[in-house]
Chain A
Amino acid sequence: MKGLRDDPAFLKILEEHHDALARFARSLTRSSEDAKDLVAETILKAYESWSSVREPAAARTFFFRIAHRLYIRQNIRRKLFSPFIADVEHASNDPLPDRLTDAQLVRDALQRMPASQRECLVLVDVLGWSLEDVVEVHGGTIGGLKAKLFRARQELKRRLTSGSDHGS
């Protein structure tokens, strides 16, 4: 990855957003390996079309839009080939077992939600994005996003409180 490493401007911007990108990817995907793949592919795609980004302030939307599209593509691929993909979860670096359990419970509940709801919920409630920024990445309208967020929160609450969903 010589070219990418030799581009300090790109690396600097990427470093700013990598943590958020990684958490976004980890919240969306089933395993940390999938999250790593999603981030790596996002970086590659972003670097390929980095020249199209004129305003560094737009870099965050640029990265997340790419990650969003790649995630949708991954989802389609997973639906087509899901019987052949082993759902392997790797150990987290989190030192506290109870925290790991909590995070895992929420991730499990998120995985069972529709993808669009999951994305909106992560962007707004986990990463703290404004509704306008989410609309810019995800498309649609503010009103539609609010409704989707409401349904997503209700769904998450239902799944977390419903005992039948756990461990299914």
Chain B
Amino acid sequence: MDPEMNIDPLAPLRNDSATFSLADSLVRASDIRTREALLRRLVYVSLGFLSTAILAWWFLSNSSVVSPMTKSVSASVETKAVGPIAPLMTTPIARTRDAHIDVAIKKVTFRSLLDDVAESSPATLNSLDVDLQAYAEIRSMLGTSDRVVSVDNNANRETCLQITCEGGDSRSIVCSAPAPSPICVTRSNGELVFAIERSNSDVARWPLVAVRARIKNEDVLLWYEQAPALLAKLRGSNLTSPEVSGQYLVLRRPNGSIVVEHHGARELWETSTLYRMDGTLATGSKVAWHQEQRAAVLISVSDVLPGAYELRSTCYNGEAERILLMVR
């Protein structure tokens, strides 16, 4: 090492002449400037290309929609043009812009079937020989396996309501002159209080008419068959059958489901939901249906309890229909 460095270690640097001249620095500065300009130009071009590509992609993906029909037509035309005798012509692909389509949604509103049940006057109940006290007694003493049977005693020309136990024992609760007997007594929401069977095993064939009554501070509905005998008794009253497209008295299957074959559907169903008589949703029950065009609809409802229900269905054309289901 230089002895001078032992005294001043920085002397080599101080005496060191510049390793490059001003001309070298100017040339290098010129190179740097050229390189930077080139780099800047490259960046601008890249950004321009990128932004153009993004704009093109956005335009193609958002503003042009080729309908499936147009696609198929274009494909077929292009396929034909591939042939050897096809003229050299390009087939422009028709593009349609997104068109705003006004869709008028028809709001379907349903009134509860209970609203259609007219108030029954005491005179009406008297004309029907409704013994509400007897009904209250039946309700209080009816067991889970017991049945209520209406027995026509032609010899004595009277009709009796009997409770028949599971073992076969029966007991008459009330007897009256022959009069129409309801087939069901339900609460106002449709829940079955008890059903009244016919001794001759007849099933209801007529449209049902609901009559409002009150048993021990509880509103109930007495469901009658709209038979000529009933119409004769109801003459002068405004009690009519609910306006439904179908009424069905259905017996439950052992698994708690019902199957109904409905005829007279107007259109293809889109939705179908089960409601109680007061318009509340029958939760727990699921409705499935099978419909072929406008023919009969096979309806299946699972986990349904005995009572009166309203099946509301909407159709694809916006129409709606409702069906009264009396489940026993």
| List of A residues within 8 angstroms of B26 by Cβ | 1, 4-5, 40, 43
A98, B19: Cα distance in complex, Å: 17
From A20, which residue of chain B is reached at the shortest CB distance? B18
A5, B30: Cα distance in complex, Å: 10
A41 & B10 in contact (Cβ 8 Å cutoff)? no
**Among the interface residues A19, A44, A109, A128, which one has the most CB atoms of the partner chain B within 10 A?**
A44
B1 & A101 in contact (Cβ 8 Å cutoff)? yes
Q: Taking the complex as formed, is B22 at the interface, i.e. its CB lies under 8 A from any CB of chain A?
A: yes
Q: Taking the complex as formed, is B48 at the interface, i.e. its CB lies under 8 A from any CB of chain A?
A: no
B22 & A15 in contact (Cβ 8 Å cutoff)? yes
Q: Which among A30-38, A52-60, A137-145 touches the partner chain?
A: A30-38
With both chains docked as a complex, state the minimum distance between the C-beta of A104 and any C-beta of chain B, in angstroms: 8
Secondary structure at the B interface, as helix, strand, loop or mixed, is helix
Known: A18-B22, A22-B19, A22-B20. A44 touches B29 (CB 8 A): yes
A43, B22: Cα distance in complex, Å: 10
Known: A26-B18, A101-B1. A106 touches B10 (CB 8 A): yes
B2 & A102 in contact (Cβ 8 Å cutoff)? yes
| List of B residues within 8 angstroms of A103 by Cβ | 12-13, 16
Q: Taking the complex as formed, is B9 at the interface, i.e. its CB lies under 8 A from any CB of chain A?
A: yes
A1 in complex: contacting residue of B1, B16, B29, CB < 8 Å: B29
A125 & B10 in contact (Cβ 8 Å cutoff)? yes
| List of A residues within 8 angstroms of B14 by Cβ | 125-126, 128
A27 in complex: contacting residue of B13, B15, B17, B27, CB < 8 Å: B13
Q: Taking the complex as formed, is A65 at the interface, i.e. its CB lies under 8 A from any CB of chain B?
A: no
Q: Taking the complex as formed, is A160 at the interface, i.e. its CB lies under 8 A from any CB of chain B?
A: yes
A5, B29: Cα distance in complex, Å: 11
From B6, which residue of chain A is reached at the shortest CB distance? A160
Q: Taking the complex as formed, is B298 at the interface, i.e. its CB lies under 8 A from any CB of chain A?
A: no
B24 in complex: contacting residue of A1, A36, A156, CB < 8 Å: A36
Q: Which 3 A-B pairs have the closest CB atoms?
A: A1-B30, A22-B18, A40-B28
